[in-house]
Amino acid sequence: MSDDYQKQLLAYNEDKRTACKYGDKCYQKNPKHLEKFKHPPSDNLKEFTQATKKQKLNNGESNTTHASKIEKDGPENEDNSELNIENQSENEDNDTDKEHQNTTKTNNSQVDTKPESELTESEFIQRNFLVKMPDDFYKFWEFCKIINEKDPLHAFEKVDLVLVGPFDVLAGKFQNVTKTKNEYLRHWRYYYDPPEMQTVIKCYDKEGYHIGYYRDEPLSDPCFVCSGNLINGQLTIMAGNLFGAVNVYLDNYVQKKCTPFNKMGIVKFQTKLKDYAKTENITLETKTDEMKSRNNKVVTRTFSGIGIVVPYNKKTQLGYRPLIETKDKIKKLLNNIVEAKEDGLRDDFLSKLQPIITMASIAADECDFGTSLELGLDLFNYGGEVFHNIILSLLISSYQLLGRDSFGDIMQAHLQDRKKSNNLSIL
């Protein structure tokens, strides 16, 4: 062992910070992560693993799966197993990784340090809802003010829609109102809404139909606008922006709900929306180029029908691996757990779920972060309080590793008070 390496190892061992469990393979560049966790010397990982293994055993600790894999692979495989984001970004197969690195993750520092009285409406939304709203969100609000200047929230009431969520900020409903961080994150968050979805429109119906933006990164532009309900966890992609989504809704409304007496009025109403969108150069396409590009990056479909996008290298297949059971088998197992009438029987079914959870966690340990994200979202989408602790364990870790910490905060707040209700306002 070289003197230089000995010094590095000594400094590492004396460092009081928590050791990052991903060790030398950690790809995180987030300053908060680097400040919180210590990382081993990277010039000789095998030598470090062997040196620290003895220390861990002496302390009564077991090696992580990740460290064991590195030792088992041996020196000849170290170069192939090492994750090098900078080199991969030069590869065409790694466009997603490059995009992930360049995306701002949770950089709310400038907004967080401002006094609330100095916040703009968009900054207020970013601070309290942990997402940025796109341009079409604000243009849609302007259109609603044209339709109903006194009460823009109810501009679409004649077609059973009302604006909610972040629109309440634009309506001034949060002025002189004090709420907790978690309350803001639950404002109009429906039972099946994953952290990636932000509801902005609700429907006056018993099924809880609602419309919201869906994004893969907390502070990135939405990928599309989709709809959901309280009947099941299915999400339906509608269009690339809010104007396109509402246009789709109006098409369906005219076909299914209009009577001969009100059809003409609804058609004129829809024409106003189309004319405004054209004037503002807003597309009404249901499949935009951005949506098609995102679809090509999907590594797997979740129970909701919406695929997940994570940093993934097609050449090395690093970033995601399939779950060890099929979707049908997992759904059947989850149903057995929820429907079990005796604790003992439920525990038996839960023990059958454990290997799936364990393998998803091992996948995350080995930098296939998409696997644990997939399982966590599937459990959330299936529903049932019995899964909440498992969901939190899988998703908070996955979101942190992916640099999507805000989604973990949203999930934690949601599961603290998850309601199957059609009235989810905190005001």
162 pairs with which residues across the strands?
A: 202
Helix (H) or strand (E) holding 188: none
The one-character DSSP state at 318 is: B
| Identified catalytic residue from 76, 82, 207, 366 | 366
- Report the DSSP pairing between strands 210-214 and 197-203: antiparallel
Q: Are 215 and 199 in contact (CB under 8 A)?
A: no
308 pairs with which residues across the strands?
A: 300
Mutual angle of helices 135-147 and 263-279, in 10-degree steps: 130
Residues in CB range of 110: below 8 A, 6 or more apart: none
- Report the DSSP pairing between strands 37-38 and 18-19: parallel
- Report the DSSP pairing between strands 236-239 and 224-228: antiparallel
Q: How far apart are CA 330 and CA 366, in angstroms?
A: 23
Three-state SS for 220? Answer: coil
Three-state SS for 225? Answer: strand
Three-state SS for 210? Answer: strand
Beta strands in 276-366 (DSSP E): 300-301, 307-308
Beta strands in 229-270 (DSSP E): 236-239
- Other CB atoms within a 10 A radius of the CB of residue 12 amount to 17
Three-state SS for 58? Answer: helix
Q: How far apart are CA 365 and CA 66, in angstroms?
A: 6
366 is catalytic: yes
CA dihedral (131, 97, 86, 11) in degrees, to 10, reads 60
Q: Are 209 and 180 in contact (CB under 8 A)?
A: no
Of 372, 374, 371, the closest CA to residue 302 belongs to 374
Q: How far apart are CA 423 and CA 188, in angstroms?
A: 8
Q: Are 67 and 23 in contact (CB under 8 A)?
A: yes
Active site residues: 366
